[in-house]
Structure 1
Amino acid sequence: MMLGNFGMKCVAPLGREKMMTFLLQFEKLAVSFVDFMQTEVAYSALIFMVIFTVTRFTRRFSPALNFALWVLVFLRLVLPTDISQPFSARQIVDNGRFSKWMFVDALMPLSDSEKAADTSVHEAPAAGLSTEGNGSDPILSFVNAVKWQTLLFVLWLIGVCALSFFYIRQLRTFRNLIRGAIPVADANLAAYCDDWRQRLHIKRKVQLLSSGEFLSPFTIGLFRPIIFIPQKLFERAGAKTVQAIIAHEMVHIKRLDDLWLRVQNVVQILYFFNPVVWIAASELNQERERLCDERVLAEGAISRKTYGESMLQILKFNLFGFDGITLLPGFGNEKKRFKNRLTSILKNQKKVRTSMISIALVFLSSATFLLPMAKYETPAERPVTVTNHLMSLAPDELSSALNFRDPLHGEGLITARFGKLKTPYSEAARFHKAVDIKAQMGTPVYAAEAGEVIAANTEYTLNKGWGRKIEIKHRNGYITRYAHLKHVNVQVGQEVKADEQIGTVGTTGQSTGPHLHFEILQNGENLNPELYVGFKQKLSKKANEQYVINKRIKVQFQKPVQGKLTSAFGAGKDPFAKKQRKHRGIDIAQKDGTPVLTAAPGTVSKLVLNYEKGEGAGMVVEITHDDGFVSRYTHLGEILVQVDQDVKAGAQIATVGNTGRSTGPHVHFELELNGAFVDPLILINRKSVVPKRAQ
């Protein structure tokens, strides 16, 4: 049929863009997942070594204690990775000489602050790729550049699906076996089962079923439990053996082991690649059976000798299955497990009785000591910029957030803004997702930020679409789009720096004249470029009358200090370097010592207390707010808050100062939103729409 290439060309750009958005979000999920799994595997390996060593000494004394300790391995695998506390095994390793051991250092993942300092941390890719031009297919480019984490994630998904299929199929097999089984007709066995139900205070009705299609006894069902006894047992074994099996399975029902085994199976499926899980599951199964044996013998209705002989009968007939339904294969030998249980039953007649209170205390203390595996950072350690010696931090060292520049460096006239407006191509108002800047043909177009070119379309249809277009992928899921270009000076896959020329202004595609159509997107969502760039161009009459709709933002910001605005957000002249640069905040001049107030409620996340005179940002307070906002106040005189302190809007956090590289007493106030700097003035005392802008 040869429809492959034709079909690809016929795919709407929107559909292709959605596909790329999905693929890139999938890659982001894969990287996060692999990072999480690596941490969990490292943590579980460390706990496993401790538990394995301890249980070699305690296994003869208390199955309940051993069972509780092995549960810790499974708990570690389902708990968040960032749990920490000041007194834990991790702290002892970090503070002691053990931290010098290479294998311990290799297993211990980085703390959050260490990860933040690691420049190799993965940055989330962005969505919204194009499908046109340059003969390149972004989907194929994505496949060719797929990360190893994505491949691992796909393999993990395949493994989980395969094991889940096996699990469900096996479960259905047992369900079908139960449907075909018949009730046990022996009235004495029914009475014996009821007697044990009363002994163990089981309120649920228990049914005895039998069939010749399976060789192993097992228990299934939580609310309507069923004990299955193979027909071979009635034919070969004596009544005492069958009674011992019933007593044992009744204890399983009492303990709700069918439920806990399901939970254990789910964890095994999710961590099928981790041998620690399989070993821990095998140990749990063995200790579970020992607990059931111990409870049966504690009732005194069956002697140790009779119970042991019954187990030997099971071994003789090769009818393994005291574990209940083990739907997943596990490590360990069934015969060896029987041998250990028999040794425990016959030789340890004078067992050390351990109270449940003692076991609970040991379990809780062990969990508190072992499970918090993340590195604990004291309040003094969390602000990583605070040291015991004078230091200076440049603004770029305070944050790695994106700082989008004007792609035309102030040239041109803004003719259309972000929001609804009428276009020459439609009678009804349409939502304009960009800023249009009218400029002379051939005006240089610069990259708004550093990134990778993901689209460089040189082919276009006259009077249709975006014409020649460039798309650049940045960190934190952002993409910038430059359309209607005359020249495209970059190629797909090329790394560009901020302010590097990438093309020239043109009028290609659906255009009424030379202009730049400029968009900013994050994770496929169009954002208002004016919020991120701080354009200095004047507005046309039509653009000045246009109402610009802002993204709905719940956080309400206010000025941190009242005073004279000496420097706005956007392009400006550096008073020290005497060069043009993008100012990523606003400067408000005020007298030294004037109170500096919180712009919005939040939590203090970083402090810089030390500085060198005439260098860097001076003394700094950083506050984290809701909805992805971070505010930062620099060049302060005195800081009045601590890290992790919650502050209300309008609360005093510092005083105006002149610390660091500063020309006089003022506050430099900047805002980040989801990893990119935004114009604070637009968000201060904002309304749902932005009215006419002052010319």
Structure 2
Amino acid sequence: MSALPPQTWMLLALGSVASAALALALGRTVQRLWPQAVSTPGVWFAAWCLAVLPPLLSVLLAGLAPVPLAALPVALPHPLALDNPATTLDAVVPPGRGWPSLGGVLMTAWLLGSALALLRLLTGSWTAYRVVRDASEVIDASNWPGPASTQQALSLRAQGITVRFTSHAMTPFAVRWPRPTIVLPESALHHFSDLQLRLVLRHEAAHLERGDPQRAGAMAMVGALLWFNPLVRHIAARVQMAAELRCDAMALGGDAAAGRSFAIAYLAALRLAGHGSAPSPVTALTHRDMAGHQLRLQHMLRGGSALRTSWTGRVAVLAVLLVSGAVITVVQAAVLSPAPLPRLTTLSSISATMAPASISHLAAAGQRFSAPLAQVRINSHFGDSGGIRQRAHRGTDFAARVGTPVMAPADGVVSAATAHYPEGDQYGTVVVIDHGNGWQSLFAHLDSTSLQPGQRVRRGDLVAHSGRSGRVTGPHLHWELLFNGERVDPLKHLQ
């Protein structure tokens, strides 16, 4: 895996933060105009998708269409083998030696942060699994505070939802895997009234009905990859709070009179869990979010009212999400790949457009060349002078990902294989092959090569791997073909 340039990492990070900031601003605007959106998880989940999807999709879009800086602004001298056939250059330094690049350091930091975030997530999930595994399943009417909660537990069991009790002091929670389960602390049987315990069970059952555990797990996985963006975590917390408020409303079922009992049970659960020393699972409530606790208590005391969104409202939210996401994705992909997308050029079209003069020149030279890549797609043609170039392009650029095999276009002898081409450091890693009869090939911006000067190669032999070394904006292969010291169009000399 090759490290991206530092500027690409910075663009990706800034794009992620910008997307999250826009999504958070839109979510707050909707909530200000539509106050009940605070208990509507779909609104904040749409904002979360707007925050995380455009940066990820822009990377994929830019990666599928890598666009290089096709030509150097100043023409470089001819390959040294033309001026002095006896000249040899130092062999290219194998990848991995010397100090790591800044791009490699940034990639390592991102991978390390993602690994730590995923490890924390897996640790919390493993803790939750152990609590569920060790919890006991006992539904004895004599131990329950009343018939309402007992009947609720039996009804849940009939639906395939298991109610278990743990000796750990923690808040109630629900999990979907390995099977739908609600876990309660044993103290709940003694500190909750019959109504309160029934409301707690209905709240956790609502989480399972809505698929909140699966949604929260998927969001946590994506959030681990974007660990550097605090705004993504903030929006994810908004989604979770909206889900809690919605489940509170579903538990109350419009019974405003039961809101006070539910609020008292909520405070009791927090107080009981606060006395525990066992680690809490990842699904447990956080005791540091005082503002969130206050919001939930106020929502319960008001009867847990929840806004029912119509299909029209859902379609409108989805349309805004799709349009905004598409615009952000295209803009970020354009920033990552500022040049136009490459046009597809096939060998058949190349042969069809060869001029008679070029064909006669090729016949006179008695030399034909094969394509250096298995799949030919042209980013920039020989002689192009548009864009940022100050003079005509001296070679042909082929779209190629980092590590794509580069084959010898014809038999020859390696004249140079170096990362320090004289007066041409902008070329990056270079391989020059002398094909004889005045013909030479120069491949630039390579990722690596194992060739040595003086080594013979046959047509189709692996000579290097394409890359993004030197002055480029994306991975590609730059091929210059020279005849008697004059650069010519390589496409007009392909067989």
* TM-score where L is the length of structure 1: 0.46
Does structure 2 retain, via aligned residues, the 8 Å contact 1:282–1:331?
no
How far, CA to CA, are the matches of 2:442 and 2:210 in structure 1? 59
Tell me, yes or no, if structure 1 residue 171 matches structure 2 residue 125: yes
Give the drift of 1:262. 0.4
Does structure 2 retain, via aligned residues, the 8 Å contact 1:64–1:291?
yes
Instruction: Could you tell me which runs of 5 or more consecutive residues in structure 1 were left unpaired when the two chains were aligned.
Output: 1-24, 84-109, 121-132, 385-392, 406-417, 420-431, 440-444, 457-470, 485-509, 512-517, 525-530, 535-569, 573-579, 585-677, 684-695
Tell me, yes or no, if structure 1 residue 221 matches structure 2 residue 176: yes
How far, CA to CA, are the matches of 1:134 and 1:483 in structure 2? 8
How far, CA to CA, are the matches of 2:70 and 2:431 in structure 1? 29
Partner of 1:260: 215
Please provide the CA RMSD for this pair: 5.0
Partner of 1:71: 46
Question: Which of 102, 105, 111 is the matching residue for 1:151?
Answer: 105
Give the drift of 1:248. 0.4
Give the drift of 1:398. 6.4
Identity %: 14
C-alpha change, 1:264 and 1:532, in structure 2 (3 Å) is closer
C-alpha change, 1:446 and 1:151, in structure 2 (3 Å) is closer
Partner of 2:234: 279
1:323-352 CA-to-partner distances (Å, cap 9, x unmatched) read: xx8628999943321210121222367x57
Give the drift of 1:176. 1.5
Partner of 1:474: 444
Task: Kindly report which structure 2 residues correspond to 1:14-53, keeping only aligned pairs within 5 A, or say none.
Answer: 25-28=1-4, 35-53=11-29
C-alpha change, 1:397 and 1:369, in structure 2 (3 Å) is closer
Partner of 2:384: 395
How far, CA to CA, are the matches of 1:178 and 1:306 in structure 2? 27
Tell me, yes or no, if structure 1 residue 523 matches structure 2 residue 466: yes
Partner of 1:308: 263
1:81-100 CA-to-partner distances (Å, cap 9, x unmatched) read: 667xxxxxxxxxxxxxxxxx
| Structure 1 ranges of 4+ moved more than 6 A | 115-120, 133-136, 328-332, 381-384, 398-402, 445-449
Task: Kindly report which structure 2 residues correspond to 1:187-266, keeping only aligned pairs within 5 A, or say none.
Answer: 187=141, 188=147, 189-195=149-155, 203=159, 205-222=160-177, 224-266=179-221
Query: The residue matched to 2:113 in structure 1 has which SS?
Result: helix
How far, CA to CA, are the matches of 2:423 and 2:411 in structure 1? 15
Alignment size in residue pairs: 383
Task: Kindly report which structure 2 residues correspond to 1:333-352, keeping only aligned pairs within 5 A, or say none.
Answer: 333-347=288-302, 351=305
Tell me, yes or no, if structure 1 residue 365 matches structure 2 residue 291: no
Give the drift of 1:483. 1.3
Give the drift of 1:452. 3.6
Does structure 2 retain, via aligned residues, the 8 Å contact 1:210–1:231?
yes
User: Which one is further off, 224-233 or 157-166?
Assistant: 157-166
How far, CA to CA, are the matches of 1:195 and 1:310 in structure 2? 21
C-alpha change, 1:172 and 1:233, in structure 2 (3 Å) is same
Partner of 1:515: none
Give the drift of 1:295. 1.5
How far, CA to CA, are the matches of 1:155 and 1:270 in structure 2? 12
Query: The residue matched to 1:27 in structure 2 has which SS?
Result: coil
Task: Kindly report which structure 2 residues correspond to 1:443-482, keeping only aligned pairs within 5 A, or say none.
Answer: 451-452=427-428, 474-475=444-445, 477=447
Tell me, yes or no, if structure 1 residue 436 matches structure 2 residue 379: no
How far, CA to CA, are the matches of 2:491 and 2:264 in structure 1? 81
Tell me, yes or no, if structure 1 residue 582 matches structure 2 residue 487: yes
Partner of 2:367: none
C-alpha change, 1:436 and 1:75, in structure 2 (3 Å) is same
Give the drift of 1:161. 1.4
Give the drift of 1:206. 0.8
How far, CA to CA, are the matches of 1:382 and 1:404 in structure 2? 16
Does structure 1 retain, via aligned residues, the 8 Å contact 2:172–2:183?
yes
Partner of 1:576: none
C-alpha change, 1:140 and 1:532, in structure 2 (3 Å) is closer
How far, CA to CA, are the matches of 1:230 and 1:448 in structure 2? 71
Does structure 1 retain, via aligned residues, the 8 Å contact 2:152–2:198?
yes
Does structure 1 retain, via aligned residues, the 8 Å contact 2:20–2:51?
yes
Instruction: Could you tell me which runs of 5 or more consecutive residues in structure 2 were left unpaired when the two chains were aligned.
Output: 73-88, 142-146, 342-381, 398-405, 416-420, 433-440, 468-477
Give the drift of 1:357. 1.6
Question: Which of 135, 139, 142 is the matching residue for 1:181?
Answer: 135
Give the drift of 1:374. 4.0
Does structure 2 retain, via aligned residues, the 8 Å contact 1:138–1:455?
no
C-alpha change, 1:172 and 1:482, in structure 2 (3 Å) is closer
How far, CA to CA, are the matches of 1:356 and 1:320 in structure 2? 43
How far, CA to CA, are the matches of 1:332 and 1:119 in structure 2? 58
Partner of 2:437: none
Does structure 2 retain, via aligned residues, the 8 Å contact 1:251–1:295?
yes
Does structure 1 retain, via aligned residues, the 8 Å contact 2:169–2:275?
no
Give the drift of 1:316. 4.3
1:35-71 CA-to-partner distances (Å, cap 9, x unmatched) read: 4444233222222223234324534x24454642343
How far, CA to CA, are the matches of 1:477 and 1:139 in structure 2? 8
Does structure 2 retain, via aligned residues, the 8 Å contact 1:183–1:210?
yes
- Look up the equivalent residue of 2:120 and give its one-letter code: F
Give the drift of 1:360. 0.6
How far, CA to CA, are the matches of 1:329 and 1:247 in structure 2? 17
- Look up the equivalent residue of 2:2 and give its one-letter code: F
1:532-567 CA-to-partner distances (Å, cap 9, x unmatched) read: 555xxxxxxxxxxxxxxxxxxxxxxxxxxxxxxxxx
How far, CA to CA, are the matches of 1:291 and 1:71 in structure 2? 16
Does structure 1 retain, via aligned residues, the 8 Å contact 2:40–2:243?
no
1:276-307 CA-to-partner distances (Å, cap 9, x unmatched) read: 01111211111110010111222659832332
Query: The residue matched to 2:163 in structure 1 has which SS?
Result: strand
Partner of 1:54: 30
C-alpha change, 1:230 and 1:302, in structure 2 (3 Å) is farther
Does structure 2 retain, via aligned residues, the 8 Å contact 1:225–1:253?
yes
Partner of 1:661: none
* TM-score where L is the length of structure 2: 0.62
Does structure 2 retain, via aligned residues, the 8 Å contact 1:240–1:306?
yes
Partner of 1:106: none
Query: The residue matched to 1:303 in structure 2 has which SS?
Result: helix
Does structure 2 retain, via aligned residues, the 8 Å contact 1:215–1:232?
no
Does structure 2 retain, via aligned residues, the 8 Å contact 1:452–1:472?
no
Question: Which of 679, 682, 692 is the matching residue for 2:491?
Answer: 679
How far, CA to CA, are the matches of 1:154 and 1:329 in structure 2? 32
Does structure 1 retain, via aligned residues, the 8 Å contact 2:444–2:479?
no
- Look up the equivalent residue of 2:3 and give its one-letter code: E
How far, CA to CA, are the matches of 2:211 and 2:20 in structure 1? 26
C-alpha change, 1:447 and 1:165, in structure 2 (3 Å) is same
Does structure 1 retain, via aligned residues, the 8 Å contact 2:442–2:480?
no
Does structure 1 retain, via aligned residues, the 8 Å contact 2:256–2:303?
no
Give the drift of 1:235. 2.8
Does structure 2 retain, via aligned residues, the 8 Å contact 1:219–1:258?
yes
Does structure 2 retain, via aligned residues, the 8 Å contact 1:197–1:250?
no
How far, CA to CA, are the matches of 1:320 and 1:256 in structure 2? 30
How far, CA to CA, are the matches of 2:256 and 2:209 in structure 1? 17
Does structure 2 retain, via aligned residues, the 8 Å contact 1:472–1:479?
no
Does structure 2 retain, via aligned residues, the 8 Å contact 1:206–1:225?
yes
Bigger Rg over Cα: 1
Give the drift of 1:77. 1.0
